Amino acid sequence: MKKKSAALLCALTFLFSGCSLTADTPPSNPNDALNSSEQTDSIQNTENTLPQMQDNEDVTVSFDNISNTYQNDDEQTDLLYSNYTRPLISIRDNAGASTAIMDEFSNREKLFIDTSKDYTKEAKSSYEQDADIFSPFYLSESYDTKRCDNRILSFQCRNDCFLGGTHENYFYNGLNFDVTTGKLLRLDDISTDKETLLENAKDYILSQLELPRYQNLTCSGDELQNVIHSDILTDETWYFTNSGITFVSNIDILGPYAAGAYFFTIPYQQLSDLKPEYQYTGPFEMTAPIGTALTANLDGNEDIDAVFFDCSFDDHSGYVSVSFTINGTDFSSYLQSEDCFLSEGAAYSAEAEYYIMDLDTSDDFLEIAITDYGANDYQVTYFFRYNGGKLTLLGNVPACISNPKLRINGDGTINTYIAVNLLETVKAAATFQMERDGTLTLVPQDWFYIDESDLSEKYKTHRILRNVTVYTEKDRDSDTVTLTPSDGEVCFPATDNEHWFMLETADKQIYYLYLEDFFTLESGENASEIFENLLIAG
């Protein structure tokens, strides 16, 4: 079953995975490599900081997004576009581990740059052979934090490439680090008995493959078992999550290209051969791809409950089809109600999952979480509680569980971000609390502080274009001050998300700006006419 595309992916995996790196020392500034004498084509480089994520107080992860355009000698023809997401890791009071992890990523970035140069040469050759039909090549490497605690830091890595042909290719691999040492972990390192761990993982994957979701497999029998061992249960294709260890079946391994990649998360509860120090100690969490089943004791009695959720979108009818059962009872209507109505976004994500988790470890219940990935980056997760055969919608939060900025604390609270209803299209840190009756509500705050990590530098400060009146307190009866263009740039660190925005001047003075609605200041003027570079979507 080794198809041409699979062979290509294997070659790219070798190039990108970093498993066969030489001992070359990467440049202290990886961008220096782009300007070396080895590179003869013109390169245009842009770099942006992506959102910072801090999953615990000891480990901080942020990302730089680096985009390059490799051009022909004429500096008019684009040969290759590249995009690399550079992780930046800081571990409190452990510089050695931080350095070890960053060294690994520096090596991977150098390899990515070298690969980009190599494929630029191929793109140039392709262009010279037939400029009329040439399309620029494309390479990218991105990282997504999957588990971050005081012992494990795990990433899912995705590589995308277009090297001519009918479609792009992509594949996933994983990187897992011991936070105490910075060591890159292999399966041997995390298990007391690797062979038993892999055998249990294989049995779990085979049980999942019996579900209708996997009806289009391209292999079976002994070939299937061999493929699982050789292409899925490898040192490159796994990563830790809060739910277990996820093994990846990349495209063209088990199914056709159109089926995409498959992800199999073996729950920690079934990983008896995992070393105790690598077990997850946070609030209980299980996950499964949509179209598969989860089993857990949802309501604290002696019975194990079986949950099944699937969601699909019919392009012809334009309707979303939902199947949601618990112990054989159909609760699908709960996902098509006025309070919870899933869009096609719940079905379209290649990695769409649902969860069983413990919002409050002090009670006897586990909650079911179903995410709608939505349109225009609008994500929402609905939480349900099952008790004595009855299902209750507890509420929702405006984020998906896999978002590293969402944190289940285990005490009935969820830390996440909410959309701001004033002045700019930005988000602010917020907390949701599960009340005594089980309903999930937003915790009121005097101020919701803006998440600036989502903003490029351009949108963090704003030049005053015309005189504007502000208050010395969050009170329309307080004294006022008139700010003018000569006062320099200002920023907006927080809002009450009703009418007020906190305003900070260049000399660190704090004032308060009142708005009648999203755009309109108290004077009747549009905010964008007063402040430069407000971020307003649409």
Q: What is the DSSP string of 298-364?
A: SSSSSPPEEEEEEEEE-TTT--EEEEEEETTEE-GGGGBSSS-B--THHHH-TT-EEEEE-SBTTSS
- Residue that is written with structure tokens 């700019």 in the block: 424
Looking at the domain assignment, is residue 425 inside a domain? no
Question: Are residue 253 and residue 223 in the same domain, yes or no?
Answer: yes
179 and 59 Cβ atoms separated by less than 8 Å = yes
Looking at the domain assignment, is residue 428 inside a domain? no
Domain boundary among 221, 248, 282: 282
Q: What is the pLDDT of residue 165?
A: 77
Q: What is the pLDDT of residue 71?
A: 94
Looking at the domain assignment, is residue 536 inside a domain? no
What's phi and psi for 330, nearest 5 deg? Answer: -85, 120
Question: Are residue 382 and residue 298 in the same domain, yes or no?
Answer: yes
Cα–Cα distance, 161 to 81 (Å, whole number): 10
pLDDT 10s digits, 467-483: 999 999 999 999 999 99
Question: Are residue 467 and residue 389 in the same domain, yes or no?
Answer: no
Whether the per-residue pLDDT at 13 is higher than 70: the answer is no
Whether the per-residue pLDDT at 93 is higher than 50: the answer is yes
Give the C-alpha distances (Å, rounded to integers) separating 380 from 278, 292, 294, 406: 30, 21, 21, 11
Q: What is the pLDDT of residue 457?
A: 83
Domain boundary among 253, 282, 311: 282
User: Is residue 294 exposed (0-12), middle (13-18) or buried (19+ Cβ within 10 Å)?
Assistant: buried
Question: Are residue 526 and residue 457 in the same domain, yes or no?
Answer: yes
Q: What is the pLDDT of residue 74?
A: 82
Question: Are residue 91 and residue 126 in the same domain, yes or no?
Answer: yes
Cα–Cα distance, 538 to 384 (Å, whole number): 33
User: Is residue 10 exposed (0-12), middle (13-18) or buried (19+ Cβ within 10 Å)?
Assistant: middle
pLDDT 10s digits, 98-107: 999 999 999 9
Kindly report the number of other CB atoms within 10 A of residue 367's CB atom.
Answer: 24
Question: Are residue 252 and residue 346 in the same domain, yes or no?
Answer: no
231 and 246 Cβ atoms separated by less than 8 Å = no
Whether the per-residue pLDDT at 34 is higher than 50: the answer is no
Percentage of the chain modeled with pLDDT above 70 = 87
Confidence (pTM): 0.76
Question: Are residue 130 and residue 65 in the same domain, yes or no?
Answer: yes
Question: Are residue 147 and residue 109 in the same domain, yes or no?
Answer: yes
Q: What is the pLDDT of residue 208?
A: 87
Looking at the domain assignment, is residue 242 inside a domain? yes
125 and 46 Cβ atoms separated by less than 8 Å = no
Q: Do β-strands 137-148 and 78-91 pair in parallel, antiparallel, or remain unpaired?
A: parallel
Q: What is the pLDDT of residue 56?
A: 60
Question: Lowest-confidence range among 2-11, 22-31, 208-217?
Answer: 22-31
- Residue that is written with structure tokens 């740039």 in the block: 489
Question: Are residue 40 and residue 167 in the same domain, yes or no?
Answer: yes
Cα–Cα distance, 289 to 246 (Å, whole number): 11
Cα–Cα distance, 109 to 157 (Å, whole number): 12
Sorted by sequence, the CB contacts under 8 Å of residue 275 that are 6+ apart come out as 190, 191, 192
Whether the per-residue pLDDT at 217 is higher than 80: the answer is yes
Looking at the domain assignment, is residue 410 inside a domain? no
Single-letter code of the amino acid located at 187: L
pLDDT 10s digits, 123-137: 999 999 999 999 999
Cα–Cα distance, 51 to 57 (Å, whole number): 17
pLDDT 10s digits, 241-272: 999 999 999 999 998 888 889 999 999 988 99
Looking at the domain assignment, is residue 447 inside a domain? no
368 and 396 Cβ atoms separated by less than 8 Å = no
Q: What is the pLDDT of residue 54?
A: 43
Whether the per-residue pLDDT at 511 is higher than 90: the answer is yes
**How does DSSP assign 447-510, residue by residue?**
-EEB-GGGS-GGGTSEEB-S-EEEESSSSTTS-EEEE-GGG-EEEEEEE-SSSEEEEE-TT--E
Domain count, the chain: 4
What six digits make up the tokens of 271? Answer: 């990983």
Beta bridge partners of 45: 68
Looking at the domain assignment, is residue 258 inside a domain? yes
**More confident of the two residues 141 and 349:** 141
pLDDT 10s digits, 414-462: 999 999 989 998 999 999 999 988 899 999 999 999 998 767 888 899 9
Question: Are residue 304 and residue 259 in the same domain, yes or no?
Answer: no
Q: What is the pLDDT of residue 248?
A: 96
pLDDT 10s digits, 107-166: 999 999 999 999 999 999 999 999 999 999 999 999 999 999 999 999 999 999 999 877
Tell me the residue ranges of DSSP E strands in 92-189: 137-148, 152-162, 169-178
Cα–Cα distance, 44 to 52 (Å, whole number): 25
Cα–Cα distance, 377 to 454 (Å, whole number): 13
375 and 343 Cβ atoms separated by less than 8 Å = yes
Q: Which domain holds residue 483?
A: 453-530
271 and 245 Cβ atoms separated by less than 8 Å = yes
424 and 536 Cβ atoms separated by less than 8 Å = yes
325 and 307 Cβ atoms separated by less than 8 Å = yes
- Residue that is written with structure tokens 């961008």 in the block: 31
Average pLDDT of the segment spanning 336-362: 82
What six digits make up the tokens of 232? Answer: 């899925």
Percentage of the chain modeled with pLDDT above 90 = 64
Three-class DSSP category at 37: coil
Q: What is the pLDDT of residue 256?
A: 87
Instruction: Work out the angle at residue 408's Cα, subtended by the Cα atoms of residues 459 and 388, and round it to the nearest 5 degrees.
Output: 140
**More confident of the two residues 313 and 145:** 145
pLDDT 10s digits, 35-82: 333 344 445 554 444 444 444 668 989 888 899 999 998 888 999 999
Single-letter code of the amino acid located at 438: G
Whether the per-residue pLDDT at 538 is higher than 90: the answer is no
354 and 290 Cβ atoms separated by less than 8 Å = yes
Looking at the domain assignment, is residue 515 inside a domain? yes
**More confident of the two residues 167 and 375:** 167
pLDDT band with cut points at 50, 70 and 90 for residue 391: very high
Question: Are residue 252 and residue 302 in the same domain, yes or no?
Answer: no
Domain boundary among 185, 211, 244: 185
Cα–Cα distance, 178 to 122 (Å, whole number): 38
